[in-house]
Structure 1
Amino acid sequence: MSPVGLRIYRRLPRANPELVAALAEIPVANVADEMSRMFCLDAAIRPWNTAPMKGVAFTVRARPGCNLLLHKALDMAEPGDVILVEDGGDLTTALSGENMVLWAQKRGLAGLVVDGAMRDRASIAEMDFPVYARGVTPRGPHRNGPGEINVPISCGGVVVNPGDIVLGDQDGVLIIPPKEAPEILKRAQGKLDKELKTRAAIEADSWDRSAYSDEALEKLGFTFFDTTYQER
């Protein structure tokens, strides 16, 4: 019998913690800008509290409505791991709640991302542990499989490989391939420097707005009318 759908891989590559920490010093949006504005999870997967998230991806492929392997992942994952769950975007059943999040926090994990539903939103909102999910429902899960651990998954429309770097803030979640991470970090630091210079220019009332002038827009083909709009 083929093990496909029933595979559990015990090991995953883990990026240098110093590299992960350096990336986490930069807003997620700035890092995403230097990744061609791709690799961001679906905007529907939202933060449930204000705790920032940084770590490496510990992946779970769940059968929608079943949290058996999420429970197993909570016991297998190591400090600094972010558990990401492929649940097919299912919102009919919650895969996790307060107690499981407390256990993840107790074990020193770095976050939980569920492409599906969770519950106990009010209590999780008060916790200092990053949680992201697509939706909320009080209906509890089943625990009978199948599923897989530490295989490539699709989470929020992005392919996530075990060991990918994961960043999250109030804007959302970003996935970073570890091999490209050092170069992405370098570019993102430059992007942040530019952002800070722009903010200083705004404060000094000297922000260059020439790219949005009438002349610049006319060169792009826009037409200005010195009248009010009239329907034909």
Structure 2
Amino acid sequence: MFINVSADNIAVHPEWPRPSEDLIQAIAAFPPALIGDVRNRLDMMSADIRCLTPGAKLAGAILPVQVWEGDNLAIHRGLDEAKPGDVLVISGNGVTNRSVFGGILAEICLSKGVTGVIIDGAVRDIEEINEMGLALYAKATVPAGPSKNGPGAVGKPVACGNVVCNPGDIVIGDQDGIVVIPQSEALETLKRLPHQEDVERQIRDRVKAAAVN
């Protein structure tokens, strides 16, 4: 960690398998809305988890972090476990009166190759983070900073935006929002996406043809 604080009360779960980058990028070629349709419109985070970095897109393997309300010690500890291509998915229990993520943590994320951050809670330093180019989704912004006392957990399944997020699941985000694909269902989801895309293309083609006639 880059802070001189004991993290003994942060539970760090054993290493977990991550999906291949090729699989992640193949799914990320499709928008979350289409992925959600293929998945029976399930596993999409609630609308209050919104993109705070305009134009940003996000794709990666989930590194879940559970924080104590208004505390970000577990995030600092979690970044020690981060690998390039990970997305931090942080459960802050929906609390928005204190930020648990800001510019310094964003810098650490970029140095570790983390591709994005999703927080069921609040953030700050949003203008600075926008300039950095890190994709960031959260419920709110607030200037009040966090404590760093713990407890918390890293690598344990968390609930974020009303979706259960397991370590190594795939997460895709754009300006519409976030969809989560369980790692065990990723290949099957990918197989079904081209057909759904083709169905929608055919509908659009019929609409255009009718307009011409």
Q: Same fold (TM over 0.5)?
A: yes
Quote the offset at 1:201 in angstroms.
Answer: 2.9
| Whole-Å separation in 1 of the counterparts to 2:27 and 2:154 | 26
2:80 is paired with a residue whose SS is: helix
The sequence identity of aligned pairs, in percent, is 37
Q: Cα deviation per residue 1:63-111 (whole Å; 9 max; x = unaligned)?
A: 0100001011123200000010011000010001122112211221111
* Correspondence for 1:54 among 59, 65, 77: 59
For residues 120 and 78 of structure 2, the distance between their equivalents in structure 1, rounded to whole angstroms, comes to 15
Counterpart contact for 2:65–2:91, Cα < 8 Å: yes
Give the distance between the partners of 1:23 and 1:142, measured in 2 at CA. 37
Relative to structure 1, the CA distance from residue 205 to residue 123 in structure 2 (aligned partners, 3 Å threshold; closer, same or farther) is farther
Which consecutive aligned stretches of 4+ in structure 1 deviate over 4 angstroms post-superposition? none
1:21 partner amino acid: Q
Say if 1:81 and 1:109, in contact at 8 Å, map to a contact too: yes
Aligned match of 1:120: 125
Which residues of structure 2 form unaligned runs of 5+?
1-8
**1:152 matched to 2:157:** yes
| Alignment partner of 1:36 is 2:40 | yes
**Larger displacement relative to structure 2 (160-169 or 192-201):** 192-201
**Alpha-carbon distance in 1 for matches of 2:130, 2:203:** 33
Instruction: For residue 10 of structure 1, report the CA deviation from its aligned partner.
Output: 4.5
Q: Match for residue 18 of structure 1?
A: 22
Correspondence list, 1:1-232, <5 A = 6-49=10-53, 50-205=55-210
**Equivalent residue pairs, number:** 203
- Aligned to 1:94, the other structure's residue is in SS state coil
Deviation at residue 141 of structure 1 after TM alignment: 0.1
Q: C-alpha distance in 1, partners of 2:89/2:208?
A: 40
Provide the C-alpha distance between the structure 2 equivalents of 1:183 and 1:8, rounded to a whole number of angstroms: 30
Say if 1:164 and 1:178, in contact at 8 Å, map to a contact too: yes
| Highest RCO, 1 vs 2 (Cα 8 Å, sep ≥ 6) | 2
Alpha-carbon distance, 1:140 to partner: 0.1
Counterpart CA distance in 2 for 1:42 and 1:36 is: 15
What letter matches 1:45 in structure 2?
I
State the TM-score, normalizing by the size of structure 2: 0.90
Distance 1:163 1:202, change over 3 A: same
Structure whose CA Rg is larger: 1
Unaligned runs of 5+ in 1: 208-232
The answer to whether the 8 Å contact 1:10/1:76 transfers is: no
Question: Secondary structure in 2 aligned to 1:194?
Answer: helix
- State the one-letter code of the partner of 1:183: E
Find the aligned partners of 2:80 and 2:211 in 1 and give their Cα distance.
Answer: 54
The 1-side partners of 2:48 and 2:42 are apart by 15
Let me know the Cα RMSD of the aligned residues.
1.6
